[in-house]
Amino acid sequence: MAYDAGDTMISVEQALALLESRVQPLGLTEVVALPDALGRVLAEDVVSPLDVPAFANSAMDGYAFALAGLPADGRLRRVGRSAAGHPFDGVVGAGECIRILTGAMMPQGADCVAMQEDCSVDGDVVTVPTSLKPGANWRHAGEDVAHGATVLYTGSRLRPQEIGLAAAVGRTALRVYRPLRAAVFSTGDEINPPGSPLPPGGIYDSNRFTAGALLRALGIEVTDLGILADDRAAIIAALDKAALDHDVILTSGGVSVGDEDHVKAAVETLGALHFWRLAIKPGKPVALGEIKGRTFIGLPGNPVAVMVCFMLLARPLLLRLMGLRQCAPLMVPVRADFSFRRKPGRREWLRARVVNRDGQLWAEKFPVESSGVLSSMVWAEGLVAVPEDMGDVAPGALLDFVSFAEVLR
């Protein structure tokens, strides 16, 4: 996965293209019971061994009959009943019908179901509409899934509907990719754990908790390695140890060019950095590298930049490692409901809410752009992208919006 970017800033597209071409799933799999497969990434194609439904059945409560044998007045003689799990044992002849319930097997001879609310009943005589067509209100065998069809594909994230479909074709367990194991730590002498007394110049560590939550939301197993001081030897030792039994090492802070930014140098000592500067804002100092064959992700130190860089870069990388086929989030066009002065050159991600006015989506921007204002991410519903080549943003400008619902799961 080598890529020598030097000190040149690269675009998000270049970074993602690099990941697309070089990063492959780790490939370690396990078989889990169906209830435990939710949220996991499928590591096998699932082929149905049967038709679903397995037999023709009624789509609603009503009366089943043969349309060719329907008298002109629609009057039929009821000769039996078919309920789910209790089919009618016989053949429906001309001028006959049976009472049929939703999901019940269609009887031999019947090719039509009249809804009960459209029928009138007088003893054993049922009057049905005469305007129905063959096939009305019932489902053919295999209408949902045909025998031999591939219903789920390798690389799919298993949602409740995939779990249900696997059960519908008779599966009790699925082969899935093993969860990634990630080590997370923060760096900085000014960082303190929540709940401890704050010394002069100290701040509480939010980044480690944010990053850990982002990882867990993807189903990744997280080891919290705490806070590392601004000491190069200590950081090298921690990275070296974490690489022994983790697939991913994720840090926040220490990848810029300050006197106490030791993470970048530590990674280069133990492995390689493939890039460390992206043409985005917030979050220019974000690093991707490798330590003893393990993936290293170095997020910025500012809390908003941590989230933005995770969503845009770390998330697609992790999803590919997990085996997921589709990693790109859905972007929707919105109109700017604000003005914004800026210099072209970097893609800027603004915290925003979206409102619908007469069918048009408008984005409202958080009033402060600082990447240290974590409360802005609580206020916002997602991010608006301002392209690299765009200057000042005027009200009404067309921009792309990505919802947190797309990138925080």
pLDDT, tens digit, 9 for 90 and up, residues 275-291: 667 788 887 777 888 89
Pure H helices in 190-287: 207-217, 232-245, 263-270
Task: Decide if 5 is inside a domain.
Answer: no
Mean pLDDT is highest, among 23-32, 164-173, 194-203, for 164-173
Task: Decide if 74 is inside a domain.
Answer: yes
What's the pLDDT at 308?
Answer: 93
What's the pLDDT at 20?
Answer: 74
Tell me the pLDDT tens digit for each residue of 19-32: 777 778 888 999 99
Check which CATH number belongs to the domain holding 296 and give it. 3.40.980.10
At residue 3 the predicted structure's pLDDT band, cuts being 50, 70 and 90, is very low
Give kind and range of the element (H or E) at residue 21.
Answer: helix 12-22
Does residue 152 share a domain with residue 98? no
Q: Give phi and psi for 307, each to the nearest 5.
A: -70, -45
Structure tokens at 82: 């078919």
Q: Give phi and psi for 20, each to the nearest 5.
A: -60, -40
Residue 234 pLDDT > 80 = yes
Residue 339 pLDDT > 90 = yes
Does residue 288 share a domain with residue 188? yes
What's the pLDDT at 18?
Answer: 78
Structure tokens at 139: 């489902």
Tell me the pLDDT tens digit for each residue of 340-381: 999 998 899 999 999 999 899 999 999 998 888 999 999 999
State the average pLDDT over residues 211-226: 95
Does residue 312 share a domain with residue 183? yes
At residue 254 the predicted structure's pLDDT band, cuts being 50, 70 and 90, is low
Residue 255 pLDDT > 70 = no
What's the pLDDT at 7?
Answer: 59
State the average pLDDT over residues 57-67: 97
- Residue 77: domain span: 57-139
Domain limit, last residue, from 268, 292, 322: 322
Does residue 183 share a domain with residue 292? yes
Does residue 351 share a domain with residue 264? no
User: What percent of the chain is predicted at pLDDT more than 70?
Assistant: 96
- Span of 117-131, 173-187, 326-340 with lowest mean pLDDT: 326-340
At residue 159 the predicted structure's pLDDT band, cuts being 50, 70 and 90, is very high
Does residue 298 share a domain with residue 185? yes
If one counts the domains in the chain, the total is: 4
pTM of the entire structure?
0.84
Does residue 212 share a domain with residue 96? no
Q: Which residues make Cβ contacts (< 8 Å) with residue 188, sequence separation at least 6?
A: 227, 229, 230, 253, 254, 260, 301
Tell me the pLDDT tens digit for each residue of 287-306: 888 899 899 998 988 899 99
Does residue 171 share a domain with residue 132? no
Does residue 191 share a domain with residue 169? no
* Rounded Cα distance, 353 and 332, in Å: 13
What angle do helix axes 232-245 and 263-270 make, rounded to 10 degrees? 50
Structure tokens at 327: 């990693």
What's the pLDDT at 1?
Answer: 41
Please count the residues of the chain.
409
Neighbour count for residue 258 (Cβ, 10 Å): 12
* Rounded Cα distance, 409 and 389, in Å: 30
Residue whose pair of structure tokens reads 């090719």 in the numeric block: 111
Burial class (CB in 10 A: 0-12, 13-18, 19+), 321: buried
What's the pLDDT at 4?
Answer: 47
Q: What is the DSSP string of 72-133?
A: TT-EEEEEEEEBTTB---SB--TTEEEEE-TTPBPPBT--EEEEGGG-EEETTEEE--S---
Average pLDDT of the chain, as a whole number: 91
Check which CATH number belongs to the domain holding 73 and give it. 2.170.190.11
Q: Which residue type occupies 22?
A: R
What's the pLDDT at 21?
Answer: 75
Does residue 402 share a domain with residue 338? yes
Q: Give phi and psi for 391, each to the nearest 5.
A: -90, -135
At residue 189 the predicted structure's pLDDT band, cuts being 50, 70 and 90, is confident
| Closest of 359, 358, 338 to residue 350, by C-alpha | 338
